[in-house]
């Protein structure tokens, strides 16, 4: 009997004044599901003794080039319990990116941030040598999760990474009241 091992991670759910969420298109060849969409996220660096909030700020800076500032990106809340997913097709995943991992999935501590819609123009993918993403856009969370892949699509659809979709459904349920409450107070 094998035990499941999760990598400790953080995620940033960024939303705007219309309640839309920021989704980013995977560009990195070191990953599977290139061309699919997800939220900024990454590992907690245990060697740095990093807490989750510091880790999510680092990931936001590395992946989309933003920093928290009152007139721009604002921290709003966090999801109390981490959400997890398992990698799909573990063997092909490992072969596809040429790495061996000592974990079967990720346990993500989610943080919610507000960014005014027009400030999407501040996003900069140039902080990593091999950027994780090559495009970001605002999307309705419900619609993002409920799309079906169309045959013969030319990769123009905004489809979530398949093995993260169930976790994103949980994230929607847990984040929606927090997002609505924040927007009502503005």
Q: Residue 91 domain-assigned?
A: yes
pLDDT at 150: 67
Domain coverage including residue 140: 6-185
pLDDT of residue 61 exceeding 60, the answer is: yes
This prediction's pTM: 0.89
Given the structure tokens 């880790």, which residue do they identify? 55
pLDDT of residue 1 exceeding 50, the answer is: no
Mean pLDDT of 173-182: 98
pLDDT in tens, 10-22: 999 999 999 999 9
pLDDT at 17: 98
Q: Where does residue 49 fall: left (phi above 0), alpha (psi -120 to 50 degrees), or beta otherwise? A: left
Question: At 87, which CATH number?
Answer: 3.90.79.10
Q: Residue 1 domain-assigned?
A: no
The tally of domains found in the chain comes to 1
Q: Identify which of 38, 40, 42, 37 has the alpha carbon closest to the alpha carbon of residue 10.
A: 42
Please report, for residues 6, 142, 143, 162, 165, the alpha-carbon distance to residue 147 in angstroms, rounded to integers and kept in the order given.
Answer: 28, 9, 6, 11, 11
Report how far residue 135's alpha carbon sits from residue 23's, in angstroms, rounded to the nearest whole number.
Answer: 8
pLDDT in tens, 136-176: 999 999 999 998 776 655 556 788 998 899 999 999 999 99
pLDDT of residue 108 exceeding 70, the answer is: yes
pLDDT in tens, 122-146: 999 988 888 889 999 999 999 999 9
pLDDT of residue 40 exceeding 50, the answer is: yes
Q: Residue 157 domain-assigned?
A: yes
Q: Residue 101 domain-assigned?
A: yes
pLDDT at 92: 45
């Amino acid at each position: 009997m094998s035990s499941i091992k999760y990598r400790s991670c953080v995620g940033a759910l960024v939303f705007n004044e219309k309640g839309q969420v920021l989704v980013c298109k995977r560009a990195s060849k070191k990953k599977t599901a290139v061309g699919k969409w997800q939220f900024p996220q990454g590992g907690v660096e245990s060697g740095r003794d990093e807490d989750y909030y510091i880790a999510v700020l680092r990931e936001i800076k590395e992946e989309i080039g933003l920093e928290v500032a009152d007139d721009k990106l604002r921290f709003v809340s966090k999801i109390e319990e981490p959400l997890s997913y398992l990698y799909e097709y573990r063997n092909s995943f490992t072969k596809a990116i040429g790495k061996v991992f000592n974990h079967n999935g990720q346990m993500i501590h989610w943080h919610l941030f507000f960014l005014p819609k027009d400030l999407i123009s501040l996003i900069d993918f140039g902080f990593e040598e091999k950027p994780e993403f090559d495009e970001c856009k605002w999307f309705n969370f419900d619609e993002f999760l409920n799309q079906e892949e169309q045959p013969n699509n030319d990769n123009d659809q905004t489809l979530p990474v398949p093995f993260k979709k169930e976790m994103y459904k949980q994230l929607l349920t847990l984040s929606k009241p927090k997002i609505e409450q924040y927007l009502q107070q503005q």
